């Protein structure tokens, strides 16, 4: 089960990867407005367009939040491609190719669920009961698929964050995603 050290490692990794995307977004937006002043016209309704102003930081975070969401889209794209049996659950979508709009959108939803789970790491079973209920009774997803998705999320982390995804982080995230899968499977029994 997840040790205190695993929990700390998962939280730190999460803070780093999500936080770093946001930092990059803030800096990039601040720079754009200075180096290409014509871009300011779109943001004329903001009171302060300085590189460290609140609206610039906030919108930079929004922009890069979208990039962080790509992790989920990439993981889901990979899952339906590498494990085609997982496609059956998404047969109602028109386009299941890697990177397609519905796949990327749902990847974002799933990563929202994972982010929520990080915040509930001390009580995953209790925290995710209604999501488990949804998967068990409404969506009827075979819980074996939770492991497959977890594997794909790990692969995408390894690709996107090769430096931060050390073997130690790998172990803790693997345990966390397994615990998340068990929590999602709770209502199946
Ligand atoms: Zn899931 C949905 C999460 C896994 C399938 N999901 C969903 C949602 C969420 C989630 C949040 C939304 C809900 C509402 O709406 O309310 N998932 C999740 C998570 C995980 C998962 C966190 C792990 C990690 N899923 C999964 C899998 C599968 C699935 C593995 C299969 C394969 N989901 C699903 C579906 C849905 C969902 C089918 C529905 C979609 C639509 O809408 O169409």
pLDDT tens column, 19-31: 776 677 777 778 8
- Tens digit of each residue's pLDDT (9 = 90 or more) over 46-99: 878 887 788 887 777 776 666 667 788 889 999 999 999 999 999 889 888 888
CB 87, CB 52: distance < 8 Å: no
Measured between alpha carbons, how far is residue 43 from residues 26, 32, 63, 169 in Å? 14, 12, 14, 40
Instruction: Report residues whose beta carbon is within 6 angstroms of any ligand 1 atom.
Output: 86, 89-90, 106, 109-110, 113-114, 131, 134-135, 139, 141, 145-146, 149, 180, 184
- Tens digit of each residue's pLDDT (9 = 90 or more) over 118-161: 999 999 999 999 999 999 999 889 999 899 899 999 998 898 88
Task: Please compute the mean of the pLDDT values over residues 163-189 and round it to a whole number.
Answer: 93
Q: Which atom of ligand 1 is nearest to the CA of 146?
A: 30
Q: Which atom of ligand 1 is nearest to the CA of 116?
A: 22
Atom 38 (ligand 1) nearest CA: 89
| pTM (predicted TM-score) | 0.84
């Amino acid at each position: 089960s997840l040790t205190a050290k695993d929990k700390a490692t998962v939280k730190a990794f999460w803070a780093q990867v999500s936080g770093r995307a946001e930092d990059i977004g803030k800096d990039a937006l601040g720079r754009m407005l200075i180096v290409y002043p014509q871009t300011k016209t779109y943001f004329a309704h903001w009171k302060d367009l300085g590189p460290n102003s609140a609206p610039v930081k906030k919108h930079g975070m929004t922009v890069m939040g979208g990039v962080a969401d790509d992790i989920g889209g990439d993981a889901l794209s990979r899952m339906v491609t590498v494990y085609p049996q997982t496609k059956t659950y998404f047969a109602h979508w028109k386009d299941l190719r890697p990177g397609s709009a519905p796949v990327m959108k749902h990847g974002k939803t799933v990563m929202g669920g994972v982010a929520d789970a990080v915040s509930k790491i001390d009580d995953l079973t209790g925290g995710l009961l209604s999501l488990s209920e949804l998967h068990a009774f409404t969506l009827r997803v075979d819980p074996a698929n939770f492991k497959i998705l977890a594997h794909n999320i790990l692969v995408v982390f390894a690709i996107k964050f090769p430096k931060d995804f050390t073997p130690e982080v790998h172990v803790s995230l693997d345990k966390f995603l397994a615990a998340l899968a068990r929590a999602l499977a709770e209502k199946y029994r």
